[in-house]
């Protein structure tokens, strides 16, 4: 596995995530039972400066995902879209700030929407807030796709509202195989949306490149060992 060249927004996000404790290296037991050498909690990305960095990272990743990839001609770029959808609750600030960043920094105008965990039975009512999704092309923002349960629910919800999901942008792709040792959640979701329609700001290999650049040998060795065991080859 060759080391990727990190973009400035990726480095900024890793630095900010480390500073607030959202990204940690050590030993962490996951729900799957695996012992991971790192842990990412997007819920701690909750201050103004960190949201500014995160939203620009989401926006830059979206813009990049809309370009074709010469190295992978079978990959389908994310097309022009109308709405960013942020699943409640973590996705709500992600969607709002990314829509703002796309407009102010990239001159791309899109709306945003999110769902309620419980339907509102008064006022405007319903389970949705923001731009109506009917007839709209939608990009979903996600934090970390593990089993993929949350993103599949979000895809179903958008479809029920009459929208078309044209892409998913993750904050972090762990790049792991599933319990069967072969498949990955990302590939399964791409089977629904199309190859290349699931992108991530950061991947496990990006974290490894960052550790290498910082000379954090012990942490990097732990990541390499985990990659050899569970990494998507």
Whole-angstrom distance, CA of residue 35 vs CA of residue 9: 29
Name the DSSP class of 43: G
Measured between its terminal Cα atoms, the distance across the chain in Å is 9
Q: Helix, strand, or coil here: 138? A: strand
Q: Which of 29, 106, 120, 214 is catalytic?
A: 120
122 is catalytic: yes
Measured distance CA(207)–CA(102) in Å, rounded: 25
Angle at 121 between CA 119 and CA 126, to 5 degrees: 45
Looking at 31, 107, 117, 122, which residue is catalytic?
A: 122
**Cβ within 8 Å of residue 160, ≥6 positions away:** none
Q: Which residues are catalytic?
A: 120, 122
């Amino acid at each position: 596995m060759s080391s990727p060249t990190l973009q400035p927004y990726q480095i900024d996000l890793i630095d900010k995530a480390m500073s607030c404790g959202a990204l940690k290296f050590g030993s962490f037991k996951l729900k799957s039972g695996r012992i991971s050498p790192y842990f990412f909690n997007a819920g701690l990305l909750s201050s103004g400066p960190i949201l500014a960095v995160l939203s620009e990272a989401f926006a830059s990743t979206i813009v990049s995902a809309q370009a074709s990839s010469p190295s992978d001609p079978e990959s389908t770029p994310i097309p022009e879209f109308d709405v960013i959808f942020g699943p409640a609750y973590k996705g709500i600030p992600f969607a709002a700030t990314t829509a703002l960043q796309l407009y102010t920094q990239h001159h791309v105008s899109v709306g945003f929407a999110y769902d309620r965990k419980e339907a509102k039975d008064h006022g405007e009512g319903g389970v949705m807030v923001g731009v109506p999704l009917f007839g709209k092309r939608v990009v979903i923002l996600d934090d970390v796709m593990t089993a993929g349960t949350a993103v599949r629910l979000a895809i179903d919800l958008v479809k029920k509202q009459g929208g078309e999901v044209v892409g998913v942008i993750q904050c972090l792709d762990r790049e792991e195989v599933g319990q069967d040792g072969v498949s990955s959640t990302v590939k399964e979701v791409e089977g629904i949306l199309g190859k290349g329609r699931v992108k991530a700001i950061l991947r496990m290999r990006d974290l490894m490149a960052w550790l290498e650049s910082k000379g954090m040998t012990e942490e990097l060795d732990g990541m390499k060992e985990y990659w050899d065991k569970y990494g998507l080859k």
